[in-house]
Amino acid sequence: MSKKETPLQFLKQFIPEGSYDLLNPFFEEHTIYLTLTRERKTVLGDYRSPSKEKPFHRISVNISLNKYSLLITLLHELAHLTTWIEYHHKVSPHGNEWKNHFQRILMPFSGKGFFPLEVEHALRDYLKNPAASTCTDPILFKALYQYDIPKKGYKLIDDIVIGEQFITEKGKIFKKIKEHRSRSRCIEITTGKFYLFPGIIEVKTVN
């Protein structure tokens, strides 16, 4: 099966030590169906509000995330839950109302030693104006990325050196030509066309 239904206690092994005690009150106060699911390419987590057919909150989080990313993603989804309780569907999914809830929910987890210092610092800056995904914040993304399980032969575009070739997920081969502030100029080998790649895209190196 692609999903694994998990008792709440099972969650402890996937999040930073000690953080469970701050999470537990959310599950005591609300009826939440929590699912840890295999990696999804386009989403890290998901929240579904109660319905007539399923009168409970539903949250899913990718089990492949490292423990720091998983905790942040879970708090992200819990912010959707508390925003829905207050506003239902009257506000945008990642508008100011959600941002305010996310900030309030995440702040108690800050400064407790749950996160490495570089993640803590990046997270504090991110919280000033949280986006729909941590993947859109390059500093926070890179701080979290170093705690992922290494994938042999893969690098971020930012870590590719000038002149080095790499393969994208679609199998196209590029060579890095020049670095800009947040993107890199690359040339596709077969067509000679130039493209700009965000620095936090993961690609496979050409040996």
pLDDT tens figures, 60-80: 999 999 999 999 999 999 999
Range of the structural domain that residue 174 is part of: 154-205
129 CB neighbour count, 10 Å cutoff = 10
CA distances to 49, 78, 193 from 54, in Å: 9, 18, 50
User: What are the tens digits of pLDDT across the range 24-36?
Assistant: 999 999 999 999 9
Residue 158 and residue 141 share a domain: no
Chosen domain end from 97, 119, 145 = 145
Predicted local confidence at residue 7, as pLDDT = 60
Predicted local confidence at residue 40, as pLDDT = 78
Residue 159 and residue 135 share a domain: no
Predicted local confidence at residue 175, as pLDDT = 97
**Cα 85 from chain centre:** 23
Return phi, psi of residue 197, to 5°. -115, 135
Distance CA(16)–CA(113), nearest Å, equals: 9
Residue 95 and residue 7 share a domain: yes
Q: Is 137 helix (H, G, I), strand (E, B) or coil?
A: coil
The total domain count for the chain is 2
Residue 98 and residue 64 share a domain: yes
Flag residues of the chain having pLDDT under 70. 1-7
Residue 49 and residue 141 share a domain: yes
Predicted local confidence at residue 181, as pLDDT = 86
Residue 113 and residue 57 share a domain: yes
CATH code at position 176: 2.30.30
Q: What percent of the chain has pLDDT over 90?
A: 80
Residue 9: which of 66, 27, 59, 76 has the closest Cα?
A: 27
Residue 42 and residue 111 share a domain: yes
Residue 137 and residue 173 share a domain: no
Residue 172 and residue 103 share a domain: no
Residue 129 and residue 87 share a domain: yes
Residue 75: which of 118, 32, 39 has the closest Cα?
A: 32
Give, for 3, the enclosing helix (H) or strand (E). strand 3-5
Chosen domain end from 145, 163, 179 = 145
Residue 138: which of 128, 148, 149, 125 has the closest Cα?
A: 125
Residue 37 and residue 87 share a domain: yes
Residue 139 and residue 53 share a domain: yes
Chosen domain end from 145, 169, 187 = 145
Q: In this structure, what token pair is assigned to residue 135?
A: 């993947």
